[in-house]
Structure 1
Amino acid sequence: MLTDAILAFLHFLAIFVLITLMAAEAVALRPDLTPATVRRLSLYDLFYFLSAALALATGLLRLFYGAKGADFYLHNPWFHAKMGVFVLIALCSLPPTFAIARWRKQARRLPDYVPPPSEIKAARRWVMIESHLVILLPLCAVMMARGIGAR
C-alpha cells in the first residue's frame, strides 16, 4: 500500500511539473523573444522531457507494482485512451523541441540570435495543441480509475 502511494505521488508530481513547464514554454514563446529567453526555453524543454519520462516511468511502475495490478488497467479502454493521448502529446512536442534545439545551436554561434516570428508562432501553436490535449488525460484517468468500460 505504501509503495502504491509513493508511486502515485511521484506520478502526480511528474505530471504537475510537466504541465508547469508546458505553460512556461507557452508563455515564453512570444514574438518579443529575447536571446536570454531562447536559452531559458532550452532548459524548459529539457526539464519538460525529463518530467514526461518520469511520468511515463512512474505510470509503468504503477501499472506493474501498484495496488490495482496490470490486469485492472490492461482490460480498460480508458487506459488505452490515456496512453494514446500521452503518445499524441509526445508527438506534438517534437516540432517545438526540434525548433528550440535549432535555435539553441544558432544562439551558440550568434549570441544575439532570435528566431523569426513565424518559427516562434509555429512552435507556440504546437505547445498550445499539447496544452489542450493534456486536458483529456485526467478525464481518461478518472474513468479508468473507476473501472468504467472495463470488462
Structure 2
Amino acid sequence: MEAAFAYLHFIAIIGVASCLVAELSVCTLDLQPPYVRALARIDLLYLVCAVAALATGIVRLSLSPKGTAFYLHNPVLYIKLALFVAVGLASIPPTLQFLRWHRAIKSGQERILKDRDILSVRRYLALEVLLFACIPLAGVLMARGVGLQS
C-alpha cells in the first residue's frame, strides 16, 4: 500500500511541476484572450495536483516503515512544508490575475492583457518554480535522516 501512495505522490508532484511549466509557457507577452481560459483551467489542475501531493505525502508519512517519529522529529520536514506553503502563497497573485482576466474577457472588455500584468504573473510563476524545485531536495535529505539529532 505504501508503494502505491509513493507512486501517486510522485505523479502528483510531476503534475504540479507540469502545470507550472505549462502556465509559464502560455503566459507570455503575446498572450491572447483565447488562452486566458486555458490558463484558468491549468491553474485549477495545478490546485488539484498540489492538494493530491499534500494528501499523498501525509498518507506516506503515516504509512512509512520508518515510523512517523522519524519524520516528525526531523526539522527538514518542516523546511519542506514551509517551501510548500511558500509555493502556495506565491500562487495566489497569478490565480487572482487569471480570474480577473477571465471575468473581463467574459464581460466583453478589450485590451485587458497589459505587459506589466503579464510580467508580474511570470515573476510569480518563476518564483513558484524555483521554490518548488527545492522541495524534492528537502524530501531526499529528510528521507536520509539529514537533520535528525543522534
Instruction: Output the amino acid matched with 1:102.
Output: R
Question: After the TM superposition, which of the residue ranges 92-101 and 112-121 deviates more from structure 2?
Answer: 112-121
Counterpart of 2:84 in structure 1 is 86
TM-score by length of 1: 0.94
Counterpart of 1:96 in structure 2 is 94
Deviation, structure 1 residue 76 = 0.7
Instruction: Specify every segment of 5 or more residues in structure 1 that has no aligned partner in the other structure, as ranges.
Output: none
Counterpart of 2:135 in structure 1 is 137
For residues 1-151 of structure 1, what are the structure 2 equivalents within 5 Å? Answer: 3-110=1-108, 114-151=112-149
Please state whether the residue corresponding to 1:134 is helix, strand or coil.
helix
Please state whether the residue corresponding to 1:22 is helix, strand or coil.
helix
Deviation, structure 1 residue 130 = 0.6
What CA distance in whole angstroms lies between the structure 2 residues aligned with 1:10 and 1:69?
20
Deviation, structure 1 residue 136 = 0.9
What CA distance in whole angstroms lies between the structure 2 residues aligned with 1:57 and 1:13?
12
Instruction: Output the amino acid matched with 2:38.
Output: R
Please state whether the residue corresponding to 1:40 is helix, strand or coil.
helix
Instruction: Specify every segment of 5 or more residues in structure 2 that has no aligned partner in the other structure, as ranges.
Output: none
Deviations 1:91-145 (A, max 9, x none): 0000001110111111211276642111111011100001111121111011100
Runs of at least 4 residues off by over 3 Å:
111-114
RMSD over aligned Cα atoms = 1.3
Identical positions, percent: 38
